[in-house]
């Protein structure tokens, strides 16, 4: 069994939950990543952005051990994931929750049965009644009503399926959460509600979140830092205010267009409204 190592510090003194060094991913003659480096700090929501074909999902799959990179080194919570042994695989499975696009639920299972899948796999000793109660708890935690437990994924709206997928991702109480375009396909109200739910869960549960998104509203509203993939590498990882200042063609186009200005203004308006709602201290 692979034993976790002590937490990894980063230059700013924060603990590093995920460390990637020199990552190389190829598909035949196509090089997706070449010498990619990335640190994900414990307790942060890291937004991962990049143009089409920059390998955002490939990076996530490599970190999760779902794809073996061609070269490089990955550590998750102090454990080398590229050793290939069963202990490292089990370590990742028990410490990570994943929400793929559209939830990726088993269509023939009810929502409750979907949430129970990781519990059955990793805790087969749990009585059936306990698994049921835990599944119900996670479903409510994800913002779904209790009656969603017995519904099939096809009976849910797109937003509810994403929440059901989130409930399953939280089934094992993992410290790490991976989300691939969680607000894609949602209307603005539904996307905002999902962002607020995710931020609340992250703060309440102390989660570290690796969040692939192209949603500028999400980036401004809940991400502590943003990692930008371009030129086969992570070209910058910083708070959004710093990312906006970087003189790179893709960054300038993405973060300074009309859509970005609208997202920034919406975020600044919400921040201003929250601050004005706080009562002034007594004289």
Task: Give the Cα separation of 106 and 128 in Å (integer).
Answer: 19
The pLDDT of residue 259 is above 80: no
On the CB side of 262, CA atoms within 13 Å amount to 7
**pLDDT reported for residue 72:** 94
The pLDDT of residue 239 is above 70: yes
Burial of residue 24 (CB within 10 Å: 0-12, 13-18, 19+) is: middle
pLDDT tens digit sequence for 151-208: 999 999 988 999 999 999 999 999 999 999 999 888 999 999 999 999 999 999 999 9
**pLDDT reported for residue 149:** 94
Say if CB 179 and CB 211 are below 8 A apart: yes
- How many other C-beta atoms can be found within 10 angstroms of the C-beta atom of residue 191? 21
Confidence band (pLDDT; 50, 70, 90) for 4? very low
**pLDDT reported for residue 1:** 40
The pLDDT of residue 85 is above 80: no
Nearest to 167 by CA among 196, 192, 145: 145
What is the rounded average pLDDT for all residues in the chain? 88
pLDDT tens digit sequence for 48-80: 999 999 999 999 999 998 899 999 999 999 888
pLDDT tens digit sequence for 103-130: 688 989 999 999 999 999 999 999 999 9
Between 226 and 5, whose confidence is greater? 226
Say if CB 153 and CB 139 are below 8 A apart: no
User: What integer is the mean pLDDT of 16-43?
Assistant: 96
């Amino acid at each position: 069994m692979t034993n976790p190592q002590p937490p990894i510090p980063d230059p700013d003194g924060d603990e590093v939950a995920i460390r990637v060094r020199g990552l190389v991913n190829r598909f035949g003659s196509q090089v997706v990543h070449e010498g990619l480096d990335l640190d994900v700090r414990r307790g942060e929501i890291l937004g991962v952005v990049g143009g089409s074909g920059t390998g955002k999902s490939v990076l996530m799959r490599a970190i999760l051990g779902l794809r073996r990179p061609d070269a490089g080194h990955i550590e998750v919570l102090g454990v080398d994931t590229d050793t290939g042994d069963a202990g490292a695989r089990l370590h990742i499975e028990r410490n990570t929750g994943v929400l793929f696009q559209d939830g990726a639920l088993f269509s023939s299972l009810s929502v409750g049965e979907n949430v129970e899948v990781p519990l059955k796999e990793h805790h087969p000793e749990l009585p059936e009644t306990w698994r049921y109660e835990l599944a119900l708890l996670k479903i409510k935690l994800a913002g779904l009503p209790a009656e969603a437990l017995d519904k099939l994924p096809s009976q849910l709206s797109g937003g509810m399926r994403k929440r059901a997928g989130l409930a399953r991702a939280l089934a094992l109480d993992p410290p790490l959460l991976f989300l691939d375009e969680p607000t894609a396909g949602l209307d603005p109200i539904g996307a905002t509600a999902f962002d607020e739910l995710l931020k609340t869960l992250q703060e309440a549960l102390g989660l570290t979140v690796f969040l692939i998104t192209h949603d500028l509203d999400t980036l401004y509203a809940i991400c502590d830092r943003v990692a930008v993939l371009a030129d086969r590498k992570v070209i910058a990882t910083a708070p959004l205010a710093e990312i906006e200042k970087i003189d790179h063609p893709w960054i300038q186009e993405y973060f300074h267009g009309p859509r970005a200005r609208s997202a920034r203004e919406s975020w600044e308006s919400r921040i201003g409204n929250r601050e004005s709602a706080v009562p002034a201290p007594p004289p």
